[in-house]
Amino acid sequence: MRKEIIKVGLLGMGTVGSGVLKILEMNREQVKNRAGAAIEVKKILVRDLHKKRPVNIDRQQLTTDPRDILHDPEIDVVVEVIGGTGDSRRYIEEALRHKKFVVTANKDLMATAGTDLLLLAREHNRNIYYEASVGGGIPLIRPLKHSLGANRIIRLLGIINGTTNYILTKMSMEKMEFETALAEAQARGFAEQDPSSDLEGKDAAYKLCILAMLAFNCHVRFEDIYVQGISGISKRDVFYAGELGFAIKLLAIGEEMEKGLALKVHPALIPLDHPLASVYYENNALFVVGNAVGETMFYGLGAGALPTGSSVVADLIDVARNINHQVENGVMETDFQAKSVVPIDELPSAFYLRLQAVDQPGVFARLATAFGDARVSLDMILQKRSVGGMAEIVLVTHAVEEKSFNLALETIKSSPVIKKINSVLRVIEK
């Protein structure tokens, strides 16, 4: 029987939950027309019934008891926007066991337990919708599941953390020091007071788990991803990168290679003529290479109440359509293949190296010998004016297996004329 009203239980009323409510109100008729039914939020789980809310809401809709949502037979869909991996997982599992569809914006949970939850959904003839878990308002999940389904995805290259991109943009465009750019990001609400998950690359790695799972049709564990953050990057690195024709970005990279998958998150120099080099401030982008479609890119705001709320409501529209067309479990992504992940030291990359050396004859000969012995060829070299008898040297190599570069680096570190290795970064070659 066709439903005229799809009833929703909302778990959480923070930034994203409030955004969902705002969109459902301001686009009420459009949402109804596209969903084929009215979408009504019946109950909202909150911690504090008396807290002032950023949206007008009937207090009778609020509850502190999750059972008022999870056990209510009238509620068709549970929307989880509380975050974390504890209560949120238990609530989603209980919702599925009570035959409710689930919409979530929870990247941490989908990255660490997504496969188990999808299997549970299949067991109960329901589905989990998670467009909002990656990329905020940018459509990424649907394109990988549907629009690009005819492709073998070769490569993902993404800027999928707005905090780090904001900081690196400020360091590049306004010559800010790292600490100053971070403080501004926090003041403007683009960074948490504890920004470690963003700065260390963990947030981007969780998102890469989800994207790689869909792109390469395999289960991806967070532990399989090499993760390095941006805290070691200085204003000098950003300056030299620009001088060499590059921008520095925190990149999430997934690539299918002959011997397995490359999965990594790290800062890298990317050519200024690459589309991702022009992604500034808090914006996100995902650059996808498919064997049929070629190169394509998705771009926009990767976080925020309305962008993320937009993706949640889009999922609600899909759920409403599926309910009224009696499509219970939709398209499931649980038939994964087993694929190995290539260790980071076996992956090829070009490298950027900044070091301080004694300003005397023979330094370049020692460097050339160290790289030559490890079979690493050099692409670019910069030497800056000597200060106090010390020269700053910047080198960029051609692509080589990481373990070969590391072998050369150990030799260089042991040289008496090399006083300090200031920075090592990977390079996306032109």
Strand partners, 334: none
Distance CA 138, CA 298 (A): 7
- For tokens 């370049």, name the residue: 364
Distance CA 368, CA 362 (A): 10
Half-sphere exposure of residue 409, counting CA atoms within 13 Å on the CB side? 21
- Pick the closest to residue 314 from 99, 101, 137 (CA basis): 137
Distance CA 51, CA 48 (A): 6
Half-sphere exposure of residue 407, counting CA atoms within 13 Å on the CB side? 14
**Which residues fall within 8 angstroms of residue 145, CB to CB, at 6 or more apart?**
214, 331, 333
Tell me which amino acid residue 143 is.
P
Residue 207 annotated among the catalytic residues of the structure: yes
Quote the DSSP letter at residue 341: B
Helix (H, G, I), strand (E, B) or coil at 299: strand
Q: Which residue of the set 7, 107, 207, 264 is catalytic?
A: 207
Tell me which amino acid residue 10 is.
L
How many CB atoms are closer than 10 A to CB 305? Answer: 20
Bridge-based pairing of strands 283-290 and 294-301 is: antiparallel
Long-range contacts for 339-342 (Cβ within 8 Å, ≥24 apart)? 339/216, 339/218, 339/256, 339/260, 339/261, 340/259, 340/260, 340/261, 341/220, 341/224, 341/225, 341/260, 341/261, 341/262, 341/263, 342/257, 342/259, 342/260, 342/261, 342/262
Tell me which amino acid residue 263 is.
L
Token output for 184? 């501004």
Distance CA 271, CA 276 (A): 9
Handedness of CA 212, 216, 219, 222 (dihedral sign): negative
- Pick the closest to residue 243 from 384, 347, 118 (CA basis): 384
Which helix or strand (DSSP H or E) is residue 7 part of? strand 5-11
Strand partners, 395: 353, 381
The catalytic residues are 207
